[in-house]
Amino acid sequence: MAERVWERFLTEQDRAHLAMTGRRHVGFGERPALLLIDLYRWVYGDEPQPLLEAIEDWPGSCGLAAWDAVPHIQTLLQAARDADIPVVHATGLDGAGIEGWSRRRGGLYSGGDSPEMEERRKRQYYIIDEVAPIDGEAVIRKSSPSAFWGTPLTGHLNYLGVDTIITCGESTSGCVRASVVDGCTNRYRMIVVEECVFDRHEATHAINLFDMDQKYADVAPLAEVLEWVADWKARGNGGGSH
């Protein structure tokens, strides 16, 4: 296997511990769903820009890391749709009179009060066109980092008989991790697709992938997940069985 993204951040003691203890894979189950977390305008902006330029107009941007993930997410999303795997989109809850989780910190990435910024805030939770929901796909709105907290996600997945959640989106260290931990807590098999998650900071992205892979999920390359999805479909699991 190619070197994992986190390996260059590990110490000698980390490596020695891993060599002694190893890890067991979570593995896929039999009834998957695809969960896309927070693929909205606030982290993309209107066009690809390097992070330090993008945050001038879009303070919550993930810069080019967000845009670089789009083709991979599109590939995964199309594979899931072709295999009739249920798809769930998660985005922010806004305009419902419920303050978001970041308000106690003054609103993360507030960006000032100019008319231009107010216009951007109105669009901040719009899922980008490149991965927009289609008819029949669930869209949940959340007011916390986790896609599970305060949402009908668990009920929806239980109704579908889902046991495995293939996960992508942002940020690796924030809403993805929170959702993965809650998914694990609810006894789902959590699969994080490495090329389909991203963050603002390279180090936190890498180490949170490592930590999730050690404790709560399998962090798998996109090619491996696509191979599993194709095999799952070939075994006759698609075609409206959900």
- For residue 62, indicate whether it is catalytic: no
The pLDDT mean for the chain works out to 92
pLDDT band at 242 (very low <50, low <70, confident <90, very high): very low
pLDDT value of residue 151? 96
Q: What is the dihedral of CA 184, 138, 238, 217, to 10 degrees?
A: -20
Question: Is the distance from CB of 66 to CB of 44 less than 8 angstroms?
Answer: yes
CA distance 13 to 22: 14
Question: Is the distance from CB of 183 to CB of 151 less than 8 angstroms?
Answer: no
pLDDT band at 59 (very low <50, low <70, confident <90, very high): very high
Among 60-64, 97-101, 170-174, 223-227, which is the least confidently predicted range? 97-101
Q: Look up the pTM and report it.
A: 0.92
Q: Is the pLDDT of residue 136 over 70?
A: yes
Summarize pLDDT for 15-50 with one digit per residue, the tens: 999 999 988 899 999 999 999 999 999 999 999 999
CA distance 85 to 89: 13
Question: Is the distance from CB of 59 to CB of 47 less than 8 angstroms?
Answer: no
> Domain boundaries in the chain?
27-237
Q: What is the mean pLDDT of residues 210-214?
A: 97
Q: Which two tokens stand for residue 141?
A: 């709105």
Residue 148 backbone phi and psi in degrees, to 5: -90, -35
Q: What is the mean pLDDT of residues 102-117?
A: 65
Q: What is the mean pLDDT of residues 76-99?
A: 89
Question: Is the distance from CB of 160 to CB of 33 less than 8 angstroms?
Answer: yes
pLDDT value of residue 115? 84
Catalytic annotation, pick one of 62, 168, 175, 196: 175
- Annotate the chain with DSSP letters as a single string: -PPPTTGGG--HHHHHHHHHH--------SSEEEEEE--BHHHH-SS---HHHHTTT-TT--THHHHHHHHHHHHHHHHHHHTT--EEEEEE--SSS---TTGGGT-TT-----HHHHHHHHTTTPBPGGG---TT-EEEEESSSSSSTTSSHHHHHHHHT--EEEEEEE-IIIIIHHHHHHHHHTTPEEEEEEEEEE-S-HHHHHHHHHHHHHHT-EEE-HHHHHHHHHHHIIIII-SS--
Q: What is the CATH number of domain 27-237?
A: 3.40.50.850
Q: Is the pLDDT of residue 84 over 50?
A: yes
**What order do you get walking across the sheet with 32-37 strand by strand?**
138-142, 87-92, 32-37, 164-170, 189-198, 218-220
Q: Is the pLDDT of residue 105 over 70?
A: no
Among 2-6, 136-140, 178-182, 227-231, which is the least confidently predicted range? 2-6
pLDDT band at 159 (very low <50, low <70, confident <90, very high): very high
pLDDT value of residue 241? 43
Q: What is the mean pLDDT of residues 210-217?
A: 97
